[in-house]
Structure 1
């Protein structure tokens, strides 16, 4: 099991800003969103994706377990889109606290935090995966 200064990383929660209407996302949609291939919510509003640094233990765990790919594959996808001008990479934040703050303050935002992170569900919502 991975660990880092905040303790053991056991799982993660996908969080979205309160204005996002979706209650669930399947793994394929989640992968498309975090791969920056799907850039708009079904209602047409832009999706703002936030991620932790590539080497952060929670990022590694999230990508491997929730997206079911390797982090380098996700990075290669972002780099290819930026290089070819066909897309962009997500916005990077340094900590779970910053992730929570940015998702809670940004319309159409999506990100992830450790399940051990204390969430205020009046500011963000947890999305279930099916």
Structure 2
């Protein structure tokens, strides 16, 4: 199953309602998901959620939004954990769990398939540029 249509993304970056940013640039998004940036611009901690490495949505998200291969992202996380310089994001097993975790934790960010029925009172979709 293909999750992209032309150049449009078939998945969305979602954040908890308390996150003020309306848009995120690609470099910031990469830094957040690679766990190099751990705080929002206002200083609040970022809580990153991802699907398992082999999940098709995760692989597509990493390739399209972060413009690297999933194994490269995994290597970054592993290196940070091994050296004690950082940690890896919290893994969830399903889109439902992703939605629930992002909606329940302040400063949270994740991604979800656009076909997922979102309650926009609990999470926000952010644009990227």
TM-score tier, shorter chain, comes to: over 0.9
SS of structure 1 residue aligned to 2:126: strand
**TM-score (norm: length of structure 1):** 0.94
RMSD over aligned Cα atoms: 0.7
Distance 2:22 2:102 in 1: 16
Q: Does 1:68 align with 2:62?
A: no
Distance 1:128 1:35 in 2: 19
Residue 125 of structure 1: aligned partner: 124
Residue 3 of structure 2: aligned partner: 9
Question: Which ranges of structure 1 fall in alignment gaps of 5 or more residues?
Answer: none
Moved over 4 A (4+): none
Distance 1:65 1:14 in 2: 12
Residue 19 of structure 2: aligned partner: 20
List aligned pairs for 1:61-100, cutoff 5 A: 61-100=60-99
Distance 2:124 2:73 in 1: 24
Residue 54 of structure 1: aligned partner: 53
SS of structure 1 residue aligned to 2:124: strand
Residue 115 of structure 1: aligned partner: 114
Deviation at 1:9, TM superposition (A): 2.5
**TM-score (norm: length of structure 2):** 0.94
SS of structure 1 residue aligned to 2:77: helix
Distance 1:54 1:95 in 2: 12
Number of matched residues? 124
Distance 2:67 2:113 in 1: 17
Question: Which ranges of structure 2 fall in alignment gaps of 5 or more residues?
Answer: 5-9
